[in-house]
């Protein structure tokens, strides 16, 4: 994946069911559900594409992040379902992840539940991290940066979509 190209199919969109808004990303991946699960839950691997995150692998288990955030695992069904929440910048963060078999690979559904699923900056941030996850899964090494030109382009894309 060329990091300077934005895949419109990879864009997040806000869904608004009766129980509240959430931001959804969907990705078709070439790797197996077990490989995607490992990239999402192994602390050394999460550090490669986002930030180091350690999980106590069970519902009700602890979540600890390298940036000092901490929270709890809300669902843990290896290798298909992960949900967790933590206290961080801007309030209580919560994500819900589903991984399904899709041909020889996997289909990833990533939902950002809170805070503010309508925020263009949050949408750009998760899109950027998921693009980095794809690079990692493909055997690449995303550059160890907090931002880059691709992230800035995603910020413009989502800010424009809001307006």
**pLDDT, average across residues 18-44:** 95
**pLDDT, average across residues 51-59:** 96
**pLDDT, average across residues 45-68:** 95
Q: Is the Cβ–Cβ distance between 1 and 131 less than 8 Å? A: yes
By C-alpha distance, which of 9, 25, 3 is closest to 123?
A: 25
Superfamily designation of domain 12-162: START domain (3.30.530.20)
Is the pTM for the entire model greater than 0.85? yes
Q: How many CB atoms lie within 10 A of CB 124?
A: 22
Strands (DSSP E) along the chain, which ranges? 13-15, 22-29, 53-55, 62-65, 70-77, 81-88, 91-102, 105-114
What mean pLDDT value characterizes the chain?
90
What pLDDT is attached to residue 4? 38
Residue 37: which residues within 8 A CB-CB, separation 6 or more? 78, 79, 80, 82, 99
**Radius of gyration from C-alpha coordinates of the chain:** 15
Does 4 or 56 have the greater pLDDT score?
Answer: 56
**pLDDT, average across residues 47-64:** 96
Strands (DSSP E) along 56-146, which ranges? 62-65, 70-77, 81-88, 91-102, 105-114
- pLDDT, one tens digit per residue, over 100-119 is 999 999 999 999 999 999 99
Q: Is the Cβ–Cβ distance between 109 and 26 less than 8 Å? A: yes
What band does 144 get if pLDDT is binned at 50, 70 and 90? confident
What pLDDT is attached to residue 131? 95
Q: Which structure tokens are listed for 133?
A: 């996850």
- Coil vs helix vs strand at 43: helix
By C-alpha distance, which of 153, 127, 133, 158 is closest to 10?
A: 127
């Amino acid at each position: 994946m060329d990091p300077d190209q934005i895949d419109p199919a990879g864009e997040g969109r806000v869904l608004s069911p009766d129980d509240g808004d959430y931001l959804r990303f969907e990705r078709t991946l070439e790797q197996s559900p077990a490989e995607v699960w490992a990239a999402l839950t192994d602390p050394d691997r999460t550090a490669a594409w986002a930030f180091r995150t350690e999980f106590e692998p069970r519902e009700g288990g602890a979540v600890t992040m390298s940036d000092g955030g901490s929270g709890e695992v809300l669902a843990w069904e290896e290798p298909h379902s992960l949900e967790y929440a933590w206290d961080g910048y801007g309030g209580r963060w919560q994500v819900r992840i589903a991984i399904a078999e899709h041909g020889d690979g996997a289909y990833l559904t990533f939902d950002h539940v809170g805070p503010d699923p309508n925020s263009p900056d949050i949408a750009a941030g998760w899109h950027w991290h998921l693009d980095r996850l794809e690079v990692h899964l493909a055997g690449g090494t995303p550059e160890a940066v907090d931002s880059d030109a691709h992230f800035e382009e995603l910020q413009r894309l989502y800010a424009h979509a809001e307006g």
